[in-house]
Amino acid sequence: MRILIAPDSLKGSLASPEVAAAMAAGVRAALPDAEVVPLPVGDGGEGSLAALVAATGARTVTRRVTGPVGDPVEAAIALLPDGETAFIEMAQASGLSRVAPECRRVREATTYGTGELIAAALASGARRILIGIGGSATNDGGAGMLTALGARLLDADGRELPPGGAALLRLARIDLGGWRVPADREFIVACDVTNPLTGPEGASAIYGPQKGATPEDVALLDAALERFADVAAGLLGRDLRNTPGAGAAGGLGFALVAFLGARLERGVDLLLDAIRFDDHLAGAELVLTGEGRFDHQTLPFYKTIAGVARRCQRAGVPVIAIVGGILGEIGDYRAAGIVGIMPIVPRPMSLDEAMRDAALLTTDATRRALELYLAGMPARRW
Tell me how far apart the alpha carbons of residues 193 and 247 are, in angstroms, rounded to a whole number. 8
Per-residue confidence (pLDDT) for residue 378, from 0 to 100 = 55
pLDDT tens-digit readout, 282-314? 999 999 999 999 999 999 989 999 999 999 999
Q: How far apart are the first and last CA of the chain?
A: 5
Query: Where in the chain are the domains?
Result: 2-41+275-381, 48-267
Classify strands 35-38 and 2-7 as parallel, antiparallel or unpaired: parallel
Per-residue confidence (pLDDT) for residue 381, from 0 to 100 = 39
Q: For residue 156, is it left (φ>0), alpha (ψ between -120 and 50) or beta?
A: alpha
Confidence check: pLDDT of 4 > 80: yes
Tell me how far apart the alpha carbons of residues 158 and 173 are, in angstroms, rounded to a whole number. 8
Confidence check: pLDDT of 261 > 80: yes
**How confident is residue 379, by pLDDT bands cut at 50, 70 and 90?**
very low
Helix residue ranges, H only, the chain: 16-30, 48-56, 91-94, 112-123, 143-148, 203-207, 215-236, 248-260, 267-274, 277-281, 304-315, 351-356, 358-375
Confidence check: pLDDT of 227 > 70: yes
**How confident is residue 102, by pLDDT bands cut at 50, 70 and 90?**
confident
Q: Which DSSP string do the residues of 295-311 spell out, in sequence order?
A: -TTTTTTT-HHHHHHHH
**How confident is residue 12, by pLDDT bands cut at 50, 70 and 90?**
confident
pLDDT tens-digit readout, 343-363? 999 888 898 999 999 999 999
Confidence check: pLDDT of 233 > 90: yes
CATH number of 48-267: 3.90.1510.10
**Pick from 200, 205, 211: nearest CA to 164:** 211
Higher-confidence position of 381 and 44: 44
Per-residue confidence (pLDDT) for residue 45, from 0 to 100 = 87
Higher-confidence position of 380 and 168: 168
Confidence check: pLDDT of 377 > 70: no
pLDDT tens-digit readout, 58-97? 999 999 999 999 999 999 999 999 999 999 999 999 999 8
Mean pLDDT calculated for residue range 322-350: 93
Mean pLDDT calculated for residue range 200-209: 97
Tell me how far apart the alpha carbons of residues 364 and 355 are, in angstroms, rounded to a whole number. 14
Angle between the N-to-C axes of helices 48-56 and 16-30, in degrees from 0 to 180, rounded to the nearest 10: 50
Tell me 12's DSSP state.
Answer: T
Q: What is the mean pLDDT of the chain?
A: 95
CATH 3.40.50.10350 is right for the domain spanning 2-41+275-381: yes
Per-residue confidence (pLDDT) for residue 353, from 0 to 100 = 92
Residue 221 neighbours by CB under 8 Å, 6+ apart:
106, 107, 139, 165, 166, 203, 204, 208, 213
Q: For residue 295, is it left (φ>0), alpha (ψ between -120 and 50) or beta?
A: beta
- 2-41+275-381 with 48-267: one CATH topology? no
